[in-house]
Amino acid sequence: MTDHSELFIDGTWVAPQGTETINAYSASTEERIGSFPEASPADIDAAVAAARRALTSPEWAEITQAERAALMNRFADVLEAGKDERARLVSTQNGMPISIASFAEGDGVVALLRYYASLAESVELEEIRPRVDGTGTTVVQRTPIGVVGAIAPWNYPAVLAMFKLAPILASGSTVVFKPSPETTLDSFTMAQAALEAGIPPGVINVVPGGPETGKHLVAHPGVDKVAFTGSTRAGRQIGRVCGELLKPVTLELGGKSAGIILEDAPVAETVTGLATASLLNTGQTCYMSTRILAPKSRYDEFVEAITAMASSLPVGDPLDPNTFIGPLVSKAQKERVLGYIEQGKAEGATLTTGGGEPKDIDRGWYVEPTVFSNVDNSSAIAREEIFGPVLSVIPYTDEAEAIALANDSEYGLGGTVWTADQDRGLQVARRVATGSFGVNSYNLDWGAPFGGVKSSGLGRELGPEGLAAYFSLKSIFLGS
């Protein structure tokens, strides 16, 4: 049991100014595992003020980029030492299978921070460009964007926080971070690691709470930019507020990506790959290929193989390294997913496996891996993001129809193609309207931009593009 009574603001643990407390629960036992204070508006004000002071403090604003990188690497060292504890804490809170938590929430957090530490050293803060009219030079200056209000969801809480924190640090900006209420305990360990690593006071502040806390942070006049990962619904609200305030915003939102199986795809490899590409973290991953498009010529074969794969995945304790399907994050999420399964049945799709709660598990927010075949792309289970272990297999006639179906979606975040011919896969990848795509697998690359088109978001994280999002640009025209 970890009951926290303080908040991390201005480089130290302080008593909250509000009185509300939020409980943390285990997704697999449904038991309370700890608590933490909810940040009140006064706490958020204090955090933003600290972040503003840090922005111009000598120990943050006046250090070299090499010194900044060294600080980031020290932070990474401390986070590396705590990686197993952090992975277990994430697994316990949100039900993420520990094998995934170890690699994403443990190692991933560290690797990402080290990658941005290297970019911090190499980024050109002042670039001298010859003028196009040939009359002299212009200095293009990159300055930190300022105080960032960063908001993360619960599904990959630590690594998605680091998607923002790492480039924010590399740019010399500062951050007020709001974790999800379901996964706040791990953010406190990250704050403690920042303290131990000597990240200067006010550079990182953590304000726990729900949507109301997030809204206060987004609209705060002391926040210069908002970086949000979460649902499309919340993203639209945040986009509206930032639009009115003309505040820069990055939105990483939901998805309903297509997994296109081409006629030549080898069945065993494809289905093994799809387990990870469509059901990673019990389907609670934004870029999952949950709309599986299978050729009519081999439809029955693929439905059978996908059904066998889904029904054979080990369901159980997220802390067991063999578990592939853990519980969903909350009772509300479980009910939402079960509601979609009922809707799929009512819409006339064929349930080939799963469809309910596992019979042999008596506690925790579990839903069986579920597959529907004969799904129409216009049905709710094919159009809406379910965010659980539910796959829809949709038949198609030819490649042109497969691409049209893949593009017939409100979303455009991820997607995959499965084929014996990588070049053909690349041709298909080029024609799908999406922010990222995998050929015969889907593996994020820290060095390449990640984000969505259409209702999946605005802007990009990761890669040098993810760092560029935290700089303001100024052009200084040098007269003679």
Active-site residue list: 252
Q: From CA 322, how far away is CA 338, in angstroms rounded? A: 25
| Min CB(163)–ligand NAD separation in Å | 7
Q: Which of 73, 99, 143, 237 binds ligand NAD (CB under 6 A)?
A: 237
Q: How big is the chain, counted in residues?
A: 480
Q: Which of 97, 167, 214, 259 binds ligand NAD (CB under 6 A)?
A: 214
Q: Which of 234, 303, 315, 382 binds ligand NAD (CB under 6 A)?
A: 234
385 scored as a contact of ligand NAD (CB under 6 A)? yes
CA distances to 75, 117, 175 from 170, rounded to whole Å, are 12, 6, 12
Residue 51 buriedness (CB in 10 A; 0-12 / 13-18 / 19+): buried
Q: CB–CB of 271/282 below 8 Å? A: no
Residues numbered 410-449 forming contacts with ligand NAD, rule: CB under 6 A: 413
Number of residues that bind ligand NAD (CB under 6 A): 29
Q: Which of 205, 229, 257, 419 binds ligand NAD (CB under 6 A)?
A: 229
167 scored as a contact of ligand NAD (CB under 6 A)? no
Beta bridge partners of residue 151, listed in sequence order: 178, 228
Residues numbered 296-355 forming contacts with ligand NAD, rule: CB under 6 A: none
Q: CB–CB of 466/227 below 8 Å? A: no
CA distances to 219, 296, 377, 397, 399 from 425, rounded to whole Å, are 44, 18, 22, 17, 11
Residues 6+ apart with CB under 8 A from 399: 262, 428
Q: From CA 163, how far away is CA 183, in angstroms rounded? A: 16
Closer residue to ligand NAD, CB minimum distance, 102 or 229: 229
Q: Which of 99, 138, 143, 231 binds ligand NAD (CB under 6 A)?
A: 231
Pick the closest to residue 286 from 160, 167, 373, 433 (CA basis): 160
Q: From CA 470, how far away is CA 143, in angstroms rounded? A: 8
175 scored as a contact of ligand NAD (CB under 6 A)? no
Piece of the chain touching ligand NAD by CB under 6 A; list 76-84, 132-140, 211-219, 392-400: 211-219
Q: From CA 258, how far away is CA 391, in angstroms rounded? A: 10
Q: From CA 394, how far away is CA 51, in angstroms rounded? A: 49
Q: Which of 218, 223, 393, 402 binds ligand NAD (CB under 6 A)?
A: 218
Q: Which of 8, 36, 115, 154 binds ligand NAD (CB under 6 A)?
A: 154
Q: From CA 165, how far away is CA 365, in angstroms rounded? A: 30
250 scored as a contact of ligand NAD (CB under 6 A)? no
| Min CB(155)–ligand NAD separation in Å | 5
Residues 6+ apart with CB under 8 A from 430: none
Piece of the chain touching ligand NAD by CB under 6 A; list 148-156, 347-355, 358-366, 424-432: 148-156
| Min CB(453)–ligand NAD separation in Å | 11
Q: Which of 254, 369, 412, 415 binds ligand NAD (CB under 6 A)?
A: 254
Q: Quick count: other Cβ atoms within 10 Å of Cβ 248? A: 18
Residues 6+ apart with CB under 8 A from 141: 125, 126, 473, 474, 475, 476
Q: Which residues of 145-161 are buried (b: 16+ CB within 10 A; e: fewer)?
A: bbbbbbbbbbbbbbbbb
Piece of the chain touching ligand NAD by CB under 6 A; list 23-31, 223-231, 343-351, 420-428: 223-231
Q: 């945040």: which residue's tokens?
A: 238
Q: Which residues of 353-368 are buried (b: 16+ CB within 10 A; e: fewer)?
A: bbbeebeeeeebbbbb
Piece of the chain touching ligand NAD by CB under 6 A; list 22-30, 57-65, 233-241, 300-308: 233-241
253 scored as a contact of ligand NAD (CB under 6 A)? yes
Piece of the chain touching ligand NAD by CB under 6 A; list 77-85, 188-196, 213-221, 295-303: 213-221
112 scored as a contact of ligand NAD (CB under 6 A)? no
Q: 392 by DSSP, 3-state: which?
A: strand
- Point out the residue whose Cβ comes nearest to ligand NAD: 214
Closer residue to ligand NAD, CB minimum distance, 316 or 466: 466
Q: Which of 238, 249, 261, 280 binds ligand NAD (CB under 6 A)?
A: 238
Piece of the chain touching ligand NAD by CB under 6 A; list 168-176, 212-220, 264-272, 402-410: 212-220
Q: 203 by DSSP, 3-state: which?
A: coil
286 scored as a contact of ligand NAD (CB under 6 A)? yes
The full DSSP string for 404-437 is HHHHSSSEES--EEE-S-HHHHHHHHHTS-SS--
Q: Which of 452, 459, 460, 469 binds ligand NAD (CB under 6 A)?
A: 452
Q: Which of 173, 180, 281, 289 binds ligand NAD (CB under 6 A)?
A: 180
Q: Which of 387, 396, 418, 437 binds ligand NAD (CB under 6 A)?
A: 387
Q: Which residues bind ligand NAD (CB under 6 A)?
A: 151-155, 160, 178, 180, 210-211, 214-215, 218, 229-231, 234, 237-238, 252-255, 286, 385, 387, 413, 452, 457
